[in-house]
């Protein structure tokens, strides 16, 4: 039978019940295997959160025991490596990977992840996130590529190509999932799943572009967002799912809801009275597969049988799903084969080292770095809650945070924490490393020791009386760290957040480092010993005081297995840091939003008690060399920027040339500048290169109130340079 008719023929033989089952995705981690087997016999479309023999059994039941023998698909959140499997390679978080600004690297990591996922048999990862993190209070900031639509779109497209390869039927290709559609990260107050108070014009202008790039890259699936857009839940949002996604972007894969969002229409967002209505609304709005709302099955059958929902909605959804299943060649190979032995293999681990290195961002250096022999360093104090905590280094979405039944939750080797990385290198250099925990990240994990011997100066150093009890409890730890540091020539302090301050349900109202971390910094700074602060965190934290008190600051976000090694290599100068921030850091929490591409305002855009400048801006990042820009030109015909970059330092380095555009006068207000292109360039000491970057037409466009995107003729400022900060950019003005 020709493939073209295969699916139509299959659909014509499916009962309403089988179509409803095909539209369902069953969470095995929740229902257990007994119930999962029943669903498999009904011919359920997909399962999630199951591995190993259980998965093989469910695949076999669907493919051999269900009436029509339609193979099922298994999905998993392999969002920074196949991280729910303890043996797999764990890469830096998406936010940390974004610091590389390296499309080739992101694609390579995605290919490796796909290979490991496929070797498990699984055909689908729920990645990448293309939401923008413009309010870092949002718990899922770590899962994004940062705050910018262009960078997110470029890296997202690379990731999708890495996951999906050339052909979905390849043994190492898995389906990617562009999520969460749409504007999910912009939820009011950074509160996960809340309403997004923006207009469709803004959606198109600011949040649609990365998803458009995902469709252009051929992404096979989309996931809806938990939240709502101007009061309309995304799972019930026909305008977004059918209008924007299908009609406008031309998406031809299938759409899965996020977890239990059909139930949320009833009991959370309260736009539907019961499961019958919610199932009808979900099907009509353009969802093809329903994740985890098992009530959908009976309810949707009821609605079709009562004539309340046209069966064609089910046909359409099932067709989308089966078409992708056919492209995966599931009828011949119900499970992927991958490459046996590839999970966590040496070459994959090497890529994790490379990714960790590229995710390190040097934010401040008064000359203390890199640590070299001649600097008379004999003893280094490594201090802090995140110096030796692999869970904090991994962040969200690993087998600790999202355990799949049967998987060990304890950290599995190989990995290198900062303490271990420092020891490895220091040993070779004859430098002694001493370690002290310092204090906890979470106030929940107090030191349980003896609270009697708190020196008076410790008590004074933390002035917040409301937290006095906590202060007392952690003082002995801080005291111990200070005593240890006094005997050392250098302090490497690792602070930040940890995995239970990131992810769903874990938004933060306060971005200052939690617990006693600021007190720890304050105490250590009174010792007048050079201090390098390393931030291991899921998001930008408020580091204003800490930066001032530190001689150097390194941002490492969640660096994955070898995050600690990369940090140590940067400290000792074995690598030249080259990461650039994909997100801005606020001076105080109340300064949020602080993303770089805001609309221009009057009155300087600042608060009376705070500057308008962020603490660190989008695109920033130092290295052990420095670059000079010259000769910026723009070719109007080819829309190509050309600029010369010279490495004026003494070390080879990689500079990320950033190009921004500002529409000088437009009929609707446009951002002060928008990233429009970037290119990494490797330069030896003293070397110059001319970099050419072709800009897309969209860089010069504006979305009008009627929601159309147009290019308005006139003047444009074109900037090129080292970061989004004006002082780092050269400018030419052109008329187009
Ligand atoms: C909910 C999350 O929002 C989504 O990103 C994830 O892919 C699904 N759960 C499946 O675990």
- Residue 135, SS3? coil
Indicate if ligand 1 lies below 6 Å from the C-beta of 396: no
C-alpha 224 to ligand 1 mean position (Å): 10
Look at residues 478, 457, 460, 479 and name the one whose alpha carbon lies nearest to residue 468. Answer: 460
| Lookup result for tokens 């989004």 | 724
Phi, psi of 642 (to 5 degrees): -130, 135
Strands in 361-365's sheet, in edge-to-edge order, are 361-365, 552-555, 531-536, 490-496, 379-383, 432-436
Q: Would the CB of 259 count as within 6 Å of ligand 1?
A: yes
- Work out the average pLDDT over 702-723: 97
Residue 403 has pLDDT above 90, yes or no: no
Residue for token digits 């084969």?
Answer: 337
Tokens of 43: 């011919």
**Measured CA distances, 304 to 24, 195, 284, 315 (Å):** 16, 31, 12, 11
Q: Say how many Å lie between the CA of residue 163 and the centre of ligand 1.
A: 18
Q: Is the pLDDT of residue 253 over 60?
A: yes
Domain with CATH 3.20.20.300 in the chain: 5-82+110-130+161-190+211-328
Per-residue pLDDT, averaged over 583-605, amounts to: 93
CB neighbours of 176 closer than 8 A, spacing ≥ 6?
A: 110, 125, 127, 128, 159, 160, 163, 164, 214, 219, 220, 221
At 224 the three-state DSSP class reads strand
Looking at the predicted structure, is the pLDDT value of residue 602 above 70? yes
Residue 587 CA to residue 501 CA, distance in Å, equals: 20
Q: Which pLDDT score, from 0 to 100, does residue 470 have?
A: 55
For residue 87, give the 3-state DSSP assignment.
coil
* Average pLDDT over every residue of 26-35: 96
**Distance of alpha carbon 489 from alpha carbon 181, whole angstroms:** 51
Whole-number Å distance between alpha carbons of 380 and 532: 11
Query: What is the rounded CA–CA span in Å between residue 421 and residue 401?
Result: 24
Q: Can you give the pLDDT at residue 472?
A: 62
Q: What is the Cα–Cα distance from 736 to 676, expressed in whole angstroms?
A: 16
- pLDDT per position as a tens digit, 387-400: 999 999 999 999 98
Q: How high is the pLDDT of residue 471?
A: 55
Angle at 71 between CA 68 and CA 76, to 5 degrees: 145
- Cα of 69 vs centre of ligand 1, distance in Å, is 28
Handedness of CA 106, 112, 113, 118 (dihedral sign): positive
Name the residue at shortest CA distance from atom 7 of ligand 1.
126
When pLDDT is averaged across residues 228-249 and rounded to a whole number, the result is: 96
Q: What is the tens place of the pLDDT at every residue in 37-60?
A: 999 999 999 999 999 999 999 999
How do residues 167-217 score in pLDDT, each as one tens digit?
Answer: 999 999 999 999 999 999 999 999 999 999 999 999 999 999 999 999 999
- Cite the DSSP H helix spans in 135-259: 149-164, 200-202, 208-216, 238
179 lines ligand 1 (CB under 6 A): yes
CA 480, CA 105: separation in Å to the nearest integer? 41
Mean pLDDT value across residues 716-733: 98
User: Which residue among 26, 28, 126, 233 has the greatest number of ligand 1 atoms within 8 angstroms of its CB, and so is best to mutate?
Assistant: 126
- Report the nearest atom of ligand 1 relative to the CA of 402: 11
Whether the CB of 181 sits within 6 Å of ligand 1:
no
With a cut of 70, say whether residue 465 has pLDDT above it. Answer: no
Identify which of 77, 79, 142 to mutate to test ligand 1's pocket (most ligand atoms within 8 A of the CB): 77
- 457 pLDDT band (50/70/90 cuts)? very low
In 550-649, which residue ranges form alpha helices assigned H by DSSP?
Answer: 563-571
For residue 628, the tally of other CB atoms under 10 A from its CB is 11
Q: Are strands 73-76 and 46-48 parallel, antiparallel or unpaired?
A: parallel
> How high does pLDDT run on average in the chain?
94
Q: Give the C-alpha separation, 87 to 93, whole Å.
A: 17
Q: How many CB atoms lie within 10 A of CB 603?
A: 6
Query: For 404-450, how does the pLDDT look when each residue is reduced to its tens digit (9 = 90+)?
Result: 887 777 889 999 999 999 999 999 999 999 999 999 887 443 334 43
Residue 454 clears pLDDT 50, i.e. is over it: no
Domain spanning 5-82+110-130+161-190+211-328, CATH class: alpha beta
Please state, in angstroms and rounded to a whole number, the distance separating the CA atoms of residues 65 and 171: 24
- CATH 3.40.50.1700 location in the chain: 360-592
Give the DSSP letter of residue 268. Answer: T
**Domain 360-592 in this protein, CATH class:** alpha beta
Nearest ligand 1 atom, CA 226: 3
CATH classification (class only), 627-735 = mainly beta
pLDDT average, residue stretch 595-617: 91
pLDDT of residue 702: 97
Q: Shortest CA distance to 564 belongs to which of 347, 368, 388? A: 388
Residue 414: asked if its preceding bond is cis (omega within 30°), the reply is: yes
Angle at 67 between CA 63 and CA 68, to 5 degrees: 65
Percent of the chain that is helix, strand, coil (3-state, to 5): 40, 20, 45
Rounded to an integer, what distance in angstroms lies between the CA atom of residue 499 and that of residue 325?
35
Nearest Cα residue to atom 4 of ligand 1: 258
Distance 126 CA to ligand 1 centre (A): 7
Out of 258, 288, 470, 507, the active site residue is 258
Phi and psi, residue 267, nearest 5°: -95, -10
The confidence score (pLDDT) of residue 4 equals 65
Query: What confidence tens digit (pLDDT) does each residue in 523-547 have?
Result: 999 999 999 999 999 999 999 999 9
Whether 551 is a known active-site residue: answer: no
pLDDT of residue 462: 40
- Cα separation, 365 vs 553, in Å, equals 7
Does 77 contact ligand 1 (Cβ within 6 A)?
yes
Q: Under a CB-based contact definition with an 8 Å cutoff, are residues 76 and 84 in contact?
A: yes
pLDDT value at 456 more than 70: no
Phi, psi of 157 (to 5 degrees): -65, -40
What pLDDT, on a 0 to 100 scale, did the predictor assign at position 3?
Answer: 65
Residue nearest to atom 11 of ligand 1 (CA): 77
Please list the residues that pair with 607 across neighbouring strands.
610
Q: How far is CA 416 from the centre of its chain?
A: 21
495: part of which helix (H) or strand (E)?
A: strand 490-496
Residues in the chain: 736
Q: Hey, CA dihedral for 510, 515, 519, 524, is it positive or negative?
A: negative
The per-residue pLDDT for range 281-322, each reduced to its tens digit, is 999 999 999 999 999 999 999 999 999 999 999 999 999 999
Q: Is the CB of 184 under 6 A from ligand 1?
A: no
Total Cβ atoms within 10 A of residue 335? 20
Q: What is the mean pLDDT of residues 366-379?
A: 89
Prediction pTM value: 0.96
Question: Which part of the chain has CATH 2.60.40.10?
Answer: 627-735
Mean pLDDT to the nearest integer, 654-658: 98
Q: How far apart are CA 39 and CA 16, in angstroms?
A: 15
Output the pLDDT for position 674: 98
Backbone angles phi, psi at 553, to 5 degrees: -135, 130
DSSP β-bridge partners for residue 260: none
């Amino acid at each position: 039978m020709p493939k073209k008719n295969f699916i139509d023929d299959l659909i014509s033989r499916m009962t309403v019940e089988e179509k409803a089952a095909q539209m369902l995705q069953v969470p095995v981690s929740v229902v257990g295997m007994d119930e999962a087997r029943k669903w498999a016999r009904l011919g359920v479309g997909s399962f999630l959160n199951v591995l190993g023999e259980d998965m093989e059994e469910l695949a076999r039941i669907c493919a051999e025991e269900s009436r029509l023998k339609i193979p099922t698909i298994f999905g998993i959140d392999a969002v920074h490596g196949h991280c729910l499997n303890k043996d797999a390679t764990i890469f830096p978080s998406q936010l940390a990977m974004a610091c590389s600004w390296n499309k080739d690297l992101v694609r390579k990591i995605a290919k490796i992840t796909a290979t490991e996922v496929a070797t498990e048999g699984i055909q689908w990862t729920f990645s990448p996130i293309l939401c923008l993190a413009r309010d870092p209070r949002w718990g899922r900031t770590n899962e994004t590529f940062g705050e910018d639509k262009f960078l997110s779109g470029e890296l997202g497209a690379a990731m999708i190509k890495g996951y999906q390869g050339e052909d979905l039927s390849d043994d190492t290709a898995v389906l990617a999932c562009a999520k969460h559609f749409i504007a999910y990260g912009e939820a009011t107050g950074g509160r996960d799943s809340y309403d997004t108070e923006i207009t469709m014009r803004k959606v198109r202008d600011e949040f649609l572009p990365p998803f458009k790039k995902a469709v252009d890259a051929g992404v096979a699936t989309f996931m809806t967002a938990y939240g709502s857009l101007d009061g309309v839940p995304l799972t019930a949002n026909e305008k977004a799912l059918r209008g924007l996604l299908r009609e406008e972007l031309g998406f031809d894969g299938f759409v899965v809801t996020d977890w239990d969002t059909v139930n949320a229409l009833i009991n959370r967002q309260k736009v539907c009275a019961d499961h019958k209505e919610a199932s009808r609304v979900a099907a009509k709005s353009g969802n093809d597969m329903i994740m985890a709302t098992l009530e959908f099955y009976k309810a949707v059958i009821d609605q079709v049988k009562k004539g309340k929902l046209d069966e064609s909605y089910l046909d359409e959804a099932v067709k989308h799903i089966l078409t992708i299943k056919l492209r995966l060649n599931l009828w011949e190979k119900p499970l992927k084969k991958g490459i046996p032995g590839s999970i966590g293999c040496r070459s994959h681990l090497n890529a994790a080292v490379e990714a960790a290195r590229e995710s390190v961002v040097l934010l401040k250096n008064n000359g203390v770095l890199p640590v070299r022999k001649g600097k008379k360093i004999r003893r280094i104090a490594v201090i802090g809650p995140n110096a030796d905590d692999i869970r904090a280094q991994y962040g969200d979405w690993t087998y600790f945070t999202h355990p799949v039944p049967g998987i060990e939750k304890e950290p599995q080797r190989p990995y290198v924490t900062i303490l271990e990385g420092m020891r490895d290198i220091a040993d070779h250099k004859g430098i002694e490393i001493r370690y002290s925990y310092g204090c906890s990240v979470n106030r929940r994990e107090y030191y349980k020791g003896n609270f009697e011997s708190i020196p008076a100066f410790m008590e004074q150093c933390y002035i917040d009386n409301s937290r006095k009890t906590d202060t007392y409890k952690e003082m002995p730890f801080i005291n111990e760290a200070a005593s240890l540091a006094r005997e050392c020539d250098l302090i490497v302090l690792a602070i930040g957040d940890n995995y239970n301050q990131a992810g769903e349900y874990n938004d933060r109202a306060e971005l200052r480092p939690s617990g006693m971390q600021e007190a720890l910094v304050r105490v250590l700074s009174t010792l007048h010993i050079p201090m390098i602060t390393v931030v291991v965190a899921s998001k930008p934290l408020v580091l204003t005081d800490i930066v001032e008190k530190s001689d150097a600051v390194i941002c490492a976000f969640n660096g994955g297995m070898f995050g600690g090694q990369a940090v140590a290599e940067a400290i000792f100068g074995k690598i030249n840091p080259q990461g650039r921030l994909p997100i801005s850091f606020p001076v105080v929490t109340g300064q949020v939003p602080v993303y770089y591409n805001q609309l221009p305002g009057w009155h300087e855009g600042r608060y009376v008690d705070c500057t308008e400048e962020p603490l660190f801006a989008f695109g920033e990042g130092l290295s052990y060399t420095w670059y000079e820009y010259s000769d910026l030109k723009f070719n109007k015909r080819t829309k190509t920027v050309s600029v010369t970059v010279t490495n004026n330092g003494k070390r080879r380095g990689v500079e990320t040339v950033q190009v921004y555009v500002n529409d000088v006068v437009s009929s609707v207000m446009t951002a002060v500048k928008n990233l429009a292109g970037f290119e990494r360039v490797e330069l030896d000491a003293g070397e110059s290169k001319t970099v050419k970057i072709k800009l897309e037409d969209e860089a010069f466009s504006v979305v009008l109130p009627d929601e159309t995107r147009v290019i308005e003729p006139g003047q444009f400022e074109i900037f090129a340079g080292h970061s989004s900060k004006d002082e780092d950019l050269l400018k030419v003005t052109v008329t187009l």
